[in-house]
């Protein structure tokens, strides 16, 4: 697979494509590697994240469910940034085969690779892998539905 992005979505373009906002926008950039097929989201994890206040005091760890959400937001940006999906929003339908391999902590640069396994006009299935450097932090498969805004 070619690792050179065909296009890069910066934060302003991500916000145009998906409805998420602070404190729930969990990606900083998306590199589309193949239109409609693969992308890599980038999340620079900072100690200033709201969730570290309680998860966990004295030992900050990014909640696994938010890592999965960040992968889903990457997939949403991949789909919803395309003109034919401009009037759509995506909802989780299922999350399967999820495994957490290492904690994600302040200072980590999280790479959120998503690969579309199946896509249609109304739903799809995506495989996601979150890495810090060469280490896998989490992996999952999820299904989603596309609905009108």
Helix (H, G, I), strand (E, B) or coil at 7: strand
**DSSP conformational letter for 50:** G
Residue 55 is a catalytic residue: yes
**DSSP conformational letter for 19:** -
State the catalytic residue, choosing from 25, 37, 51, 55: 55
| Token representation of residue 134 | 């060469």
Helix (H, G, I), strand (E, B) or coil at 39: strand
DSSP string, 109-128: EEEEEEEEEEE-SSEEEEEE
Give me the helices (H) in 1-149, please: 11-17, 64-80
User: What residues act catalytically?
Assistant: 55
């Amino acid at each position: 697979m070619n690792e050179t992005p065909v296009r890069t979505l910066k934060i302003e373009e991500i916000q145009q494509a998906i409805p998420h906002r602070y404190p729930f926008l969990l990606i900083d950039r998306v590199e589309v590697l193949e239109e409609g097929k693969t992308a890599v989201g980038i999340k620079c994890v900072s100690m200033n994240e709201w969730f570290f206040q309680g998860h966990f005091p004295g030992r900050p760890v990014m909640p696994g469910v938010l890592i999965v959400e960040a992968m889903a937001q990457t997939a949403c940006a991949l789909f919803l940034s395309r003109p034919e999906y401009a009037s759509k929003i995506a909802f989780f339908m299922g999350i399967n085969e999820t495994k957490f391999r290492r904690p994600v902590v302040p200072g980590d640069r999280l790479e959120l690779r998503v690969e579309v396994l199946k896509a249609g006009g109304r739903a799809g299935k995506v495989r996601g892998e979150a890495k810090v450097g060469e280490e896998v932090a989490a992996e999952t498969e999820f299904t989603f539905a596309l609905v009108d805004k």
